[in-house]
Amino acid sequence: MDRITLRACGKLNLSLDIVGVREDGYHLMDMVMQSVSVFDRVTVEKAESLDPGLFPYGEQDIAFRAAQAFFAAAGIPGGARVRVEKRIPSEAGMAGGSADGAAVLVALDRLYGTGMGEKLVPIGEKVGADVPFCLTGGTARVEGIGERVTPLPFFDRGCYLVVKPPFGISTPAAFRAFDRSDAPRRPDTAGMIAAMARGDIPALEALSENVLEAAAARPEIGEIRRALREAGAAFSRMTGSGSAVFGLFETDKAAAAARDAVERYGETFLCKPVPAGIWVETCI
């Protein structure tokens, strides 16, 4: 096998809480995350060397850093050429870069026959905070700085309508703003997980929260959430540090019907929950 193409799925934060700060300044998280069907298509080929010129964004590319981390951990020589067809919006809080990094780790593990499996997760930790979740995917509670991923029963209910406004939100700036802010409304994460297990979508609006939303200080976020709710969403939140906002609808038809009501706010995506973060399309 010399080439493999994978789907690297984006994620939504159904809930996001900050529960502390480590001595090194990293924030400790408690999140409920869901993989969704918006994906990047990532093609990885064997190459003679590990040249940043063979990656879409050079040395700063998370895909390149993932490849570096893989070969360092595997202790083998090798190289890769990576192509990415982007579909996950950038600066959205949907883990587009982390999903690509996770896909590269999975691809190289298969191409070079290293059989690392779950050992890819600690490698992914060094590459990006969302990479461990993207490797696992599905529905999960994610804690620490993103390294502790506890799979939950697959929450396959409903259809998501995602709105990406025409601006991004800096993740470091959002966390700095949170540190300066008053105590926010906090989610009931355990209660939310119990409601998800019951399939109780309407209960999620009261139980969930994204504590970074207020820190983002963009009134458009609240406007989009209200518009989604008025259009029939049972539950709406900003994902990650933003700027994308999603609404969860009980049916695919209801989500599609709501699209016209929110298109003025930015790019829109209809997506379904999926049970894994990385899917293999072709191997050659």
Tell me whether residue 98 is annotated as binding: yes
Q: Residue 243 corresponds to which amino acid?
A: S
Q: Which of 11, 17, 109, 164 is labelled catalytic?
A: 11
Task: Give 284: exposed, middle or buried? Use CB within 10 Å, 0-12, 13-18, 19+.
Answer: exposed
Does 217 carry a binding-site annotation?
no
- 130 catalytic? Reply is yes
CB 28, CB 20: distance < 8 Å? yes
107 is in an annotated binding site: no
> With the CA atoms of 43, 163, 145 and 21 taken in that order, what torsion angle do they form, in degrees rounded to the nearest 10?
150
Q: Which two tokens stand for residue 10?
A: 């984006």
Which H or E element spans position 261? helix 252-262
Q: Is 95 a known ligand-binding residue?
A: yes
* Whole-number CA gyration radius for the chain: 19
Cα 21 to Cα 161: distance, rounded to the nearest angstrom: 32
Does 170 appear as a known binding residue?
Answer: no
Was 31 annotated as part of a binding site? no
Question: Which tokens is 226 given?
Answer: 């209200």
User: Known binder of ligand: residue 90?
Assistant: yes
Has 126 been annotated as catalytic?
no
261 labeled part of a ligand binding site: no
Q: Catalytic one among 61, 100, 130, 164?
A: 130
What residue spans of 130-207 are helical by DSSP H? Answer: 131-136, 171-180, 189-198, 204-207
- Residue 226 to residue 136: CA distance in whole angstroms: 32
Residue pair 196/215 in contact (Cβ under 8 Å)? The answer is no
3-state secondary structure of 206: helix
- Is 96 assigned to a binding site? yes
Annotated binding site: 89-99
The catalytic residue positions are 11, 130
Annotated binding site for ATP: 89-99
